[in-house]
Structure 1
């Protein structure tokens, strides 16, 4: 096994011939997090077996709260304090990874309020490419501003949530989305660029910012209310290539609908990536399962590991340099589906461990391709 697991703050692993091992972060939340972290470690180790210098997997030394675990921690003020401490710790963990040259971290589900405090500070966007029969939708979710990133102030019988939008951050999100679209479609053709935000609530400032960015960047950008985007999607569908930049208030709710629309499978089987735009962590990508912490399944060996397995494959291929890792994993998952090896949520009768070991056995029978340079 070539993956070296260390706690955050431990000395870096170095090979005298190949130099420092690639550093990958691992952050674990409560609920089913510890079980899925084990799956991630094992699959990453299998995929990177034989990689020169190995892989250094740096695990955060804190087990972060889920929403369910927080509910038993006392009154709102105590919960707010724990939320803030989790956010501060995870932010510092991400910054420490970036300082060591890490480009990826896998995180299991944690409490959303802590998570979005970090996403605001690290200026994160979530990227998801959906495809069906020649049509591609690149969905870029603005996680750095808006309602999700607000902070709460408590008073007896009242809660005030304060949030911020800024022109500078809006332009940064647009520029990243355009850059990502040009990577996905190297010939440069983007048929339509749409932004879905509740801009009518922002006194005309937001759509003016977008218009200024569109003029500066030399691209047409259409800004719509989310309900208009929904209506147009139903009535007209999408052109072949659409870049959709969306406020998280709409995109989070609509994600499962878009997955269904594009025949992209169930949320429980998908992972996604979050890209940090803050200069201090630029280049760090956080991978996560789309599903939540599933606290009701914690410790029962019943959680679906497919999304975690896919995240391990993406990390191995994109960040360690293991060519063909995603294809190997997808082939193995297809074999498991064919053979009926699945957890109960997918209609199967197998445990998390049984699914993971069945997949590892199939990976062991398929040779790894040559590593990327």
Structure 2
């Protein structure tokens, strides 16, 4: 298992270090880690946020463990040289078309959610979002309207091939989430939505063990907040997935616990499982205001490492061990400042290791 570790900027190196310690404690045979520069630190050292040597390392790896990018010192640079362009470049160059974002309220933290505790306690879902199509990547422009005013336009489109590809990822992921997939679209008013729904239905024929349902996006937004326990995996497009994943994340109560994966269609080597290549990262940013202080919560990055073991390497038992260790640490009161606690980065990492 060749894993490229890209710590990045701000708190990225601190939280990534703890995730690497957890991976090392598992003593997995054949696991090799390589570290590279990315983001603001890469610009300062190499003159570009995504140097060729880092991109080459990522291409040659079976998975990427990513920290965070963002450096106030680089805010005045030309846009293509800013740290944030590194993650966009990696998504493009590595063909990462599927974003997986779990949203789970851990036992004992229900009070941190804006939802009622009894509702928050039922949230344990995974949003699978198509990442490279839809209106974000369609043709767009500005033209003159009939009355002479400016009119912006954006083309939303999905091909059957694109939909079928992301649907397969959702069905595969659902086997770890009670085999339930809810496909979210707007087929009642959008032709794109109708193609999406028809294609998902057709793709489901190859997965008879998966329970498939469909929901319009406006209803899905309401249901995530009112009855989140009904969802296992939510499958949706780029635009709707962008909105719904942030909605679900806010309902959890802290971004310090939220992992994510961006996956491509390049399989990992057969010798390490049947998973897809993925880039795994916490959803929080680089938090430069606390960088170097040892205050950051590394649990989201540790949980991202667990996602990597599950989805890229097929190591379900090892992934579950890490997640269980995090859950036990939280239950024992091990919490960072984002959760109202006083434990620092290394202390949280040590607590997870002890329970692992």
Structure 1 residues 328 and 130: alpha-carbon distance in aligned structure 2, compared to 1, 3 A threshold? closer
Give the alignment's TM-score, normalised by structure 1: 0.63
Shift of 1:26: 0.9
Shift of 1:303: 1.1
Structure 1 residues 141 and 313: alpha-carbon distance in aligned structure 2, compared to 1, 3 A threshold? closer
Structure 1 residues 326 and 230: alpha-carbon distance in aligned structure 2, compared to 1, 3 A threshold? closer
**1:293 partnered with 2:286:** yes
Shift of 1:222: 4.0
Shift of 1:358: 4.0
CA distance in 2, matches of 1:345, 1:309: 16
Aligned to 1:227: 218
Aligned to 2:87: 115
Is 2:96–2:132's contact at 8 Å kept on the other side of the alignment? yes
**1:40 partnered with 2:19:** yes
Q: Aligned to 2:99, which of 118, 126, 136?
A: 126
RMSD of aligned C-alpha atoms? 4.4
Give the alignment's TM-score, normalised by structure 2: 0.66
Aligned to 1:105: 64
Shift of 1:27: 1.5
**1:57 partnered with 2:39:** no
Q: Secondary structure, in 3 states, of the residue corresponding to 1:94?
A: helix
Is 1:120–1:143's contact at 8 Å kept on the other side of the alignment? no
CA distance in 2, matches of 1:165, 1:114: 26
Is 2:187–2:193's contact at 8 Å kept on the other side of the alignment? no
Q: Aligned to 1:195, which of 174, 184, 188?
A: 184
| Runs of 4+ deviating beyond 6 Å | 131-136, 150-153, 160-164, 279-282
CA distance in 1, matches of 2:124, 2:335: 29
CA distance in 1, matches of 2:341, 2:65: 26
Is 1:129–1:139's contact at 8 Å kept on the other side of the alignment? yes
Q: Secondary structure, in 3 states, of the residue corresponding to 1:86?
A: coil
Shift of 1:292: 1.6
Q: Secondary structure, in 3 states, of the residue corresponding to 1:284?
A: strand
Is 2:97–2:264's contact at 8 Å kept on the other side of the alignment? yes
Q: Secondary structure, in 3 states, of the residue corresponding to 1:296?
A: coil
Q: Aligned to 1:214, which of 201, 206, 213?
A: 201
- Number of matched pairs: 304
Aligned to 1:277: 265
Aligned to 2:79: none
Is 2:156–2:192's contact at 8 Å kept on the other side of the alignment? no
Query: What 5-or-longer segments of structure 1 have no aligned partner?
Result: 1-21, 73-80, 154-159, 367-373
Aligned to 1:308: 301
CA distance in 2, matches of 1:169, 1:295: 37
Structure 1 residues 162 and 118: alpha-carbon distance in aligned structure 2, compared to 1, 3 A threshold? farther
Aligned to 1:139: 127
